[in-house]
Copies of this chain bind each other. A is one copy, B any other.
Amino acid sequence: MSAVPWVEGILHGQGTVQRRAMAKAITLLESTRTDHRRIADALLNTLLPHTGRAFRLGISGVPGVGKSTFIEALGIYLIERGHRVAVLAVDPSSSVSGGSILGDKTRMEKLSVHEHAFIRPSPSGGTLGGVAAKTREAMLVCEAAGYDVVIVETVGVGQSETAVADMTDLFCVLQLPNAGDDLQAIKKGIMELADLIVINKADLDPDAATRAQAQITSALRLLGLHGRAMADDPTMPRWQPTVLTLSAATGQGVAAFWEAVQRYRHLQEVNGALAERRRRQAAAWMWERIDAGLREAFGQHAAVRARLPALTEDVLAGRVVASVAARELLHVFLD
């Protein structure tokens, strides 16, 4: 038996035993205590060889767009076809709002009680980077436990879409079926991240949904939002962001959505983009955590703390040049 706790339960446990091990492990990962952190790191490295085979699906959309209904419909659809589905979240505001949307499991009535689904609300507190890192680690626990579809949802506060796109294989944006000028609600910069755009609630106004689909498709083409170029072979076909219409409430379009995901996955496996994306994500994640750790040490340094507030004020007031202030603070920290 492994010296690291929860490993046996996660890898080989059944039913409640496995779920309990997963929940305990994720709670351990979320702890900030140094001794917990040491065990958590050992746990992660032990689980790592058993991860990576799941498909990681990022889902974003403004409140009211129907994310929970969509995840419920998709999750049940997938479980009926033999998949095991984990649902995680990145919600950096959850410490303020008193819990992520996923904390309210009643929104996913069937999925939340299904034995082949595992739902975990967003870790709370800390920076977006910290919250995202914990979700990322929780994803590894789910994969090691044999969940082969991991859905990560975000409500889209601040840069949280970028964080979710950076930890998933495919990033999907849900959009309401209003067209033309009403589409002004699309969040700036988010379309650049999207591999799939879903016009949800298409049943409410099918014509508007179809118009929105055509308009967004042409705007994406116009503004060059064409997916990521292949570094190795620019002639290899690559995925073009695609716009679908769907009704999560009636279930119409859910099968077509999953077909599109499968097409994406197949193409990106053949052209190498998926492996490249995961390698790039791993490297970027390591450096993001290094940068965050360096900043944290910098911010806790006594002499830096003594100097930073006044110097920041000087920079904002135009009394000291920003790069000069940076050099002064670095000198204080590094000497």
Contact = CB atoms under 8 A, between A and B. Distances in A.
A293 interface: yes
A112 to B, nearest CB: 28
A141 to B, nearest CB: 11
A295 interface: yes
Interface in A61-81: none
Contacts of A137: 321, 323
A295 B291 contact: yes
Count the copies.
2
Given A44-B321, A289-B326, A295-B291, A224 B185 contact: yes
Interface of A: 37, 41, 44-45, 48-49, 52, 133, 136-137, 140, 180-181, 183-192, 215-216, 218-226, 279, 282-283, 285-291, 293-295, 297-298, 312, 315-316, 318-327, 329-330, 333-334
22 contacts: A41-B321, A41-B324, A44-B324, A45-B321, A48-B321, A52-B318, A183-B221, A183-B222, A185-B224, A190-B224, A215-B222, A218-B219, A282-B316, A282-B322, A283-B312, A287-B326, A289-B327, A289-B330, A290-B298, A291-B295, A293-B326, A294-B333
